Structure 1
Amino acid sequence: MSVPVAWVAAVVGMLCYGAASVIQAVAARRATGARVVVQPGYLVGMGLDLLAWVSSVVAMQALPLFTVQAVLAGSLAVTVLLARLFLGARLLRRDVVAVVATVIALVVVGAASGTEAAVRPSILFDEVLLVGLVGVGIAVAVLYRRHHPAVMAVLAGLGFSGAAVGARGLPLDHGLVGLLGSWTLWLVLGFGAIGMLAYARALEQGSVGPATALLWVVEIIVPGVIGWYWLGDTVRPGWAWPAVLAILVATVACGVLAFSPAQPEQAPAESEPGQ
C-alpha cells in the first residue's frame, strides 16, 4: 500500500462521511420513524458510510492513526458546506473560519506525518483489543440507562477508537478467507457495534452537536496516542509541535462545526460518524 493511495482513501472517507450525513438528513425529512430506513436516500447514505469506513481501513494500512482520524474528522466541514448548499442551512462567519482552520490543520497534519509506512501491530494485539472491547462494553451496559448523553458520546468515541486501532491489524493481504477467519475483524465489528449503540443513545438523550463534537475529540486523540505509543506511528523530525497544534486546532474546529446551524439536526441516530 503506497502512501499516496492511502491519502486518497482517507480523503474519500472524509467526503463520504460528510455527504452521508446530509443525504440521510434529507431522507429523514421525507419519512418518520422506522420508515426512514427504507428511504432510497437513507440507503444511499448508509452505503456511503460503508464506503467511508472501508476507505479509512485502507488508509490506516499506510498512514499514522492520528493522520487518518484527523482527516476523517474533517467530514464535519464537508457536512456543513453541503448542508448550506442542499438544505439551505445558515452558515455563520465562525463556521467559515472553522472550515478554513480545518483545511489548514489537515494540511499541517499531512505534512507532519512520518515518511515511514505504518507498521503492523505487535504480538498480543488481539488480546489487548479484547480486554478493551469487554471494558467499553461493560461501561456502556452499566451506564446506558442512567447517565448523561456526554458520557455516552465519550463511550461511543472509545468504541469507534477501538475499531480504528483494530483496523490496523486486519490481515487484508490474506484474502477474504483469511480476513473472515481473523479474530481482529470480529473485534473491530464488536467495537463498531458498541460505538453505534452508545452514539444512538447519546442522540436520544441530547443534541447531535455536542455528542458529535465529543465523539470526534475522542476519536482523534485516543487512536493518535495509541498509534504513536504502541503501533510505531511517527512524526517527521521537527514537526512534533506543529502536528500537536494542528490536531488541537482541528479538534476545536470540529467542536465549532458540530454546533453550527448548518449541521443537520434531522439526521437519524443510526447515522454514525465514526468507524
Structure 2
Amino acid sequence: MMTTAGWIALGITVFGAFSYATASILQAVAARRSSGTVETMRHPLYLLGILCDMLAWIGAIVALRELAVYVVESILAGSLAITVVAARIVLKSRLRGRDVTAVIVSVAALTVLAMSAGPQHDVVATTALRWSICAAALAMAVLGWSAARAAPAGVIAAMGGLCLGGAAMTGRALPRAPMDIVTDPLTAALLTFAVTGMLMYAHALGKGEVGPVTAIHWTAEVVAPSAVALLLLGDKVRTGWEVPAAAAVVVTIAAAVMLARAPASEAAAGEPLALECPLTPSIEAPPLPVLARAGIPVVAHRAGATGERIIWWGPPPIWRPPARPRPASQPAGRL
C-alpha cells in the first residue's frame, strides 16, 4: 500500500497537472502572437506560463522521490483533460461526446495508476549511469538544436517530450541529501533536459497546430522515460497490478491524443485573452495581420458587437488628437 508520503506526493502531482493545463493555454496563445521562438520566449503570457510550468516541474521533482516515473508522467499528461474541461467552462467552447468520454476514461485510468503505485526504493545511481544520463542530455541538446532548424513540428515536439521525460527520469535518480544534489553531475543533466525540452516545445507550437503538437509531446514524454525508469532505475509496480497499470498507461496516452485534437483544446489555444471595453468608439483600421506584423497594438472587431475586444498585453495604445484648423477670425498669435 502507498505510504502517507506517497499520498502527499500524489496530491502534489495532481496540482502539477492543473498548473501544466494553465501553462499550456498561456504558452500556446503566446506562440500564436509571436513570429519566432525568441519572441515567444519574451512574451508576457509565455513568461506567466513558464511560472506555472516551474511550479508543476518543481512539484514533479519532489513527487518523484516517492512515486514511480510512469505514475507522475501519466498524471501530468492528464492535464489535457483539465484543459478541455476548463475551455468548456470558461470559453464556452464546443465539447464533443467523444471528448466527454475521453475525460471520464482519463480520470478512471489515472485512478488505476494511483492505486497501482507502491512504495518506491531510493535509486542508487552508479558512476556509469550518471555519465550515461549526462551524455544523453548533451546529445539531446545538440540534436534538438539541429532539428529546430529543419525538422517538422511533430519531430520537434517528440524530442521536446523526450527531453522533459528525461528530466523526470533524472530527477528520480538524484540523491536525497541537498548538498549531494548541488555537486552531483545529474543536476546539470536535469537542467539541460528541462531547458532543451521547454525550448523545443515552444518552437514546435510556433511551427505546428497545437493539438497534434501537444499529443505527440505528451506521448513521447510518458512512454519512453517511464519504460527506461522501469528497466534501469528499479521503479516498481504494486504486486498484482502490473497488467492494470500497463493498460491504464495506454488508455491515458490514447485519451490524451484524442483530447489534444478536441475543439475545446483548439479554442483554448487560439482564443485571445481580452478585456471588453464597451465605451471605446469604433475605429477604422488596416487589416489585423498588417497591424500585427507592424508591431502595433491590435484592436479586434466583431460583427454585431456593441464594443471592442482590446488585447491587454504589449505596449499600451496611445491616442493623439487630430490637428484642428484655427478659426479664420482668430489671430495667429492668440490661443
What's the TM-score, normalizing by structure 2? 0.72
Q: Map of 1:259-274 to 2, 5 A cutoff?
A: 259-263=261-265, 264-266=268-270
Once the two structures are superposed, what CA deviation does each residue of 1:194-235 show, in whole Å capped at 9, x if it has no partner? 112222232222111111111111111112111111111111
Q: Which residue of 2 aligns with 1:161?
A: 165
Question: Alpha carbons of 1:223 and 1:35: their partners in 2 closer, same or farther (altered >3 Å)?
Answer: closer
Q: Map of 1:150-189 to 2, 5 A cutoff?
A: 150-174=154-178, 178-189=180-191
- Which secondary structure state, in structure 1, belongs to the residue aligned with residue 119 of structure 2? coil
2:94 paired with 1:94? no
Question: Alpha carbons of 1:118 and 1:67: their partners in 2 closer, same or farther (altered >3 Å)?
Answer: farther
Contact 1:119 1:233 in 2 (8 A): no
Larger radius of gyration: 2
- Which secondary structure state, in structure 1, belongs to the residue aligned with residue 120 of structure 2? coil
Aligned pair partner of 1:221 in 220, 223, 227:
223
CA apart distance, 1:88? 2.4
Calculate the aligned-residue CA RMSD, in Å: 2.5
Distance 2:21 2:251 in 1: 19
Q: Map of 1:120-135 to 2, 5 A cutoff?
A: 120-123=123-126, 124-135=128-139
Whose helix fraction is larger, Structure 1's or Structure 2's?
1
Range that drifts further, 43-52 or 54-63: 43-52
Q: Tell me the percent identity.
A: 35
Q: Which residue of 2 aligns with 1:252?
A: 254
Q: Map of 1:26-175 to 2, 5 A cutoff?
A: 34=39, 37=42, 39=44, 43-113=47-117, 115-123=118-126, 124-174=128-178
Question: Alpha carbons of 1:231 and 1:69: their partners in 2 closer, same or farther (altered >3 Å)?
Answer: same
Range that drifts further, 251-260 or 218-227: 218-227
Question: Alpha carbons of 1:167 and 1:256: their partners in 2 closer, same or farther (altered >3 Å)?
Answer: same
RCO (CA 8 Å, sep 6+): is it higher in 1 or 2?
A: 1
- Which secondary structure state, in structure 2, belongs to the residue aligned with residue 262 of structure 1? helix
Distance 1:229 1:35 in 2: 37
Range that drifts further, 147-156 or 56-65: 147-156
Distance 2:34 2:125 in 1: 47
Distance 1:262 1:172 in 2: 41
Distance 1:182 1:107 in 2: 35
Distance 2:257 2:87 in 1: 17
What's the TM-score, normalizing by structure 1? 0.86
Contact 2:31 2:206 in 1 (8 A): no
Contact 2:13 2:75 in 1 (8 A): yes
Q: How many residues align?
A: 263
Q: Which residue of 2 aligns with 1:230?
A: 232
Q: Which residue of 2 aligns with 1:271?
A: none
Contact 1:60 1:118 in 2 (8 A): no
Unaligned 5+ segments in structure 2 are 273-335
